[in-house]
Structure 1
């Protein structure tokens, strides 16, 4: 045995989606450290600029950051993207070097998911779709969501509750499995 300390492998995961879909909540729910949040209060100045969501009082203006230590050798770093169009210039930097991404979806506003899906498809970054099941949302099957978003059959679409730690962890596990399957089937 070597006395050389192990340097953990870091894995970067991006949590993306439209404004108000629960990205900050998901990162907060699973992070083992107090997450870094760059939230600001929504004001009257955002009317007509941001698509306001009932009950939402703050918005991410840069990123959310959290960490999960899997074991001594593997650490996940979570980067939540801002959801408003005016902050999309940051997405390339946040996604650089990412193993994959979670596109969080609110079925009440599916159209807000298209830019995130397009972003990851165009860059060839593996992603899954996680349908955040909000109270009061019309229930849809995951196949109905897949069809509405027009995504490939190989892209997992799963239901989640971003407020529930076990549910959020299942989303992360699904993303890692999906990415591993893609790597196994990639041409050499």
Structure 2
């Protein structure tokens, strides 16, 4: 057992060394940006029924660093309203996410991005006070394109899927509510310094 642990640790150290040690000196490209997008094809499930969520806009800010032109680490804060087709109620959702993208160069200025994200989401409901039970962990995948159109400016777009870990339940667990099939299309503009 200990031999397997040593081998796995050595393999992880080797992978880290080759990723960040390929060049003698790492390059860091810091950026801040504005994000805008839309939720698509989202749905909320409850005991005995499912309802489509209305398409809703997403607005946010992000910042991070690109290491060696291939590894992008980004932290973002996004706001979006959550409206259900069958109700008049509205909840505000705020997501705090950290994402990693690997940038695959297509041309000198264009890169394909593929990666994942983790974070935490909070809800605020103006109709009742139960929305904080939906607060919880989120994780997902995203892929897209990033285009550097000037020395300090880039634009990008991505398609993502987010999985929600939290669900709302009553005391008897006879009623639960959970968000499923959360797809997004996002665009961004970033300033690099």
- Does TM, scored on the shorter chain, surpass 0.5? no
Which one has the bigger strand percentage? 2
TM-score by length of 2: 0.24
Which one has the bigger helix percentage? 1
Greater radius of gyration (CA): 2
Using CA pairs under 8 Å that are at least 6 residues apart, name the structure with larger relative contact order, 1 or 2. Answer: 1
